Structure 1
Amino acid sequence: MNLADKLEMVNISDTGRKRPHNEDSSIADPELGLAVIADGMGGYKAGEIASAMAVMTVLETVREGIGRLRPANGRQESGPLHPEAWQLLAEAVQKANGAIFQTAGRLEECQGMGTTVVSTLLYDDHIIVAHAGDSRIYRYRSGQLEQLTIDHSLLQELIDRGFYTPEEAEENTPKNLVTRALGIDPEVKVDLGEHEVQPGDIYLLCSDGLNDMVTDEEI
């Protein structure tokens, strides 16, 4: 089954009530099967620059490389089913990281800028996921919502280490302290994953502007 023919994508952004401008950037390209969301941070408008650079670099890199990918020749015993797709998406995020890091070092007004990123690529009826930071991807399947990424944040680290329960962490820890982002160091560690897509699946990519405001149940 070729689920790419049935793919529908929607891209929505809202500034919200707290800030005069939005530092998020996003794209949804049905022809490539690519979706990217980046949530920028930095000085005056530098966050917007970082997130826009991330989104455009990932888009351009995937567009240039997707023609070289080959469908999998059967189920792998271990490791990713589509290693070339993993490599392409990881390369795209690393290129974005390098571009942002170099720009931040070269332009005074961009010093300290960075961005989270979450990206998905639909390929051979699977989605490849790459992310760094606390932007998320959810899957809604058969009436159940599941978070497919783990936040790279101080709050999540404290939960993982057993210092807090999720409920206690929400009350005692700032939500917006990320432990991983693009543009901070010359290289960034990117978490990668792969999930088989089923007909009727809904995948939601979002920045923390959504999940900080509403619960998973409300989503």
Structure 2
Amino acid sequence: MTVSSVVLNVASLTDTGLKRAANEDSLLVASPVFLVADGMGGHEAGDRASAAVVDAFEPLRGSVIEVADIGDALSRASAVVDDISAEHKRGAGTTVTGVALVDHEGAPHWLVFNVGDSRVYRHHANELTQLTIDHSLGQELVDAGELRAEDLSSFSQRNVITRAIGAPDSTADSWLLPVVDGERLLLCSDGLSGEVSDEAIRATLTMNGRPESAAAALVSRALKAGGRDNVSVVVIDVVSGGANTRPDDSTAGREAASASLTDSSLEGTTIPVRAR
């Protein structure tokens, strides 16, 4: 099987929320690449920064994507956001999280990439797994054993991010994961994950069969929880063309796929691929 054999059903939705004057989030649904970007820096800075990410990835629409293409797009976005930041006293930046369909060893894989605290989740067999790792002060303290994971939601500086496009550190994390029939991926800004618990996200994805209804229900939950930030979601269902296995059963394959990518395949990019 190849990328061309994968059938997807996709829906996306974004909302300004109840407290913000403008929507600084941007979305891209341009198979084989999908992403969410959460801009920072205020109106005419944050929204331009997130839009610059979309513009940088738009040329990949309908293309056969390789890992280096994602790194190149991130580099283009960084250059534009740096220029935008120079025009504004507060600066400008944006998160970006996304997935791209790529062929690896003759099989379709997701290339998951992330800079900042927007997230990619995988929902399969009624179970929810966060695939990305937040680049935030709170998460770094959890990783260092200085903050308990269960205390993260009440941590006063939980929204301080440590990497972003336009920031001194814009290095992207990425992972290769086999595409699995029946799985559902969720891409979201922290306007969702900051308002709605993982358990509520899991339940919402489980109860809503169509991606359109799932996207609408998730945004609705974020607004009902306070809507303090812009909220954006992309819901991707794998209908067919992927592996006929549970995601947990493919762990060994994920590690082997990541390990086989040599440094030369990533030359000139800022997106080191690793096992997840």
Deviation at 1:170, TM superposition (A): 2.2
Change (3 A) 1:170 1:208: same
The alignment status of 1:122 with 2:122, answered yes or no, reads no
Instruction: Please give the alpha-carbon distance, in whole angstroms, between the structure 2 residues aligned to 1:188 and 1:137.
Output: 18
Q: Give 1:16's aligned amino acid.
A: G
The alignment status of 1:48 with 2:65, answered yes or no, reads no
Instruction: Please give the alpha-carbon distance, in whole angstroms, between the structure 1 residues aligned to 2:195 and 2:111.
Output: 27
Instruction: Please give the alpha-carbon distance, in whole angstroms, between the structure 2 residues aligned to 1:205 and 1:160.
Output: 23
Q: Which stretches in structure 2 are left out of the alignment for 5+ residues?
A: 202-276
Larger strand fraction of residues: 2
Q: What's 2:174 paired with?
A: 192
Equivalent pairs, count: 196
Instruction: Please give the alpha-carbon distance, in whole angstroms, between the structure 2 residues aligned to 1:165 and 1:157.
Output: 11
Q: What's 2:75 paired with?
A: 94
Higher RCO (CA 8 Å, separation ≥ 6 residues): 2
Q: What's 1:80 paired with?
A: none
Instruction: Please give the alpha-carbon distance, in whole angstroms, between the structure 2 residues aligned to 1:18 and 1:209.
Output: 11
Change (3 A) 1:94 1:133: same
8 Å contact kept, 1:103–1:110: no
Q: Which stretches in structure 1 are left out of the alignment for 5+ residues?
A: 70-84
Q: Give 2:191's aligned amino acid.
A: G
Q: What's 1:135 paired with?
A: 118
Q: Give 1:14's aligned amino acid.
A: D
- Where has structure 1 moved over 6 Å in runs of 4 or more? none
TM-score (norm 1): 0.83
Root mean square deviation, CA, Å: 1.9
8 Å contact kept, 1:121–1:128: yes
- Of all paired residues, the percent bearing the same amino acid is 38
Deviation at 1:110, TM superposition (A): 6.9
The alignment status of 1:216 with 2:215, answered yes or no, reads no
3-state SS in 2 of match to 1:12: strand
Instruction: Please give the alpha-carbon distance, in whole angstroms, between the structure 2 residues aligned to 1:111 and 1:194.
Output: 36
The alignment status of 1:160 with 2:104, answered yes or no, reads no
Q: Give 1:42's aligned amino acid.
A: G
Listed one character per residue, the Cα deviations across residues 22-42 of structure 1 (whole Å, up to 9, x for unaligned) are 110001113xx1101100000
Listed one character per residue, the Cα deviations across residues 96-126 of structure 1 (whole Å, up to 9, x for unaligned) are 1121112322x2x375100000121012321
Listed one character per residue, the Cα deviations across residues 33-60 of structure 1 (whole Å, up to 9, x for unaligned) are 1101100000333100100011111222
Q: What's 2:33 paired with?
A: 34
Instruction: Please give the alpha-carbon distance, in whole angstroms, between the structure 2 residues aligned to 1:92 and 1:114.
Output: 16
Q: Give 1:129's aligned amino acid.
A: V
Deviation at 1:213, TM superposition (A): 0.8
Q: 1:146 aligns with which of 117, 126, 129?
A: 129
